[in-house]
Amino acid sequence: MVDEKELSQFQTMWSLKKQDLEVKERLSKMKLLDSLIAKQEPLADYEEALKKKLIDDLSCCLSFYCHGVSM
């Protein structure tokens, strides 16, 4: 049988791990967007589409965090 204390500790640990993974994903997206923005030559169509998607994704995340809602 699972102890309530152990379950609570596991849930806390999982919550922290989930937040860590979300932060790492956002950072990865930001780095990719930064590299696309920094390119000197014109972007290929797929790169431009990716840049727009990343901007939409990151601005959505930013608005959630600005309003105190975690994803």
> Who wins on pLDDT, 68 or 10?
10
Q: Compute the distance between CA of residue 65 and CA of residue 71 in angstroms, rounded to an integer.
A: 8
Summarize the confidence of residues 30-40 as an average pLDDT: 96
Q: Residues 38, 70: contact at Cβ < 8 Å?
A: no
Q: Name the residue among 29, 16, 20, 58 with its Cα closest to residue 66.
A: 58
- The tokens for 26 are 């956002």
Average pLDDT over residues 49-55: 96
User: What integer is the mean pLDDT of 22-47?
Assistant: 96
Give this prediction's pTM: 0.72
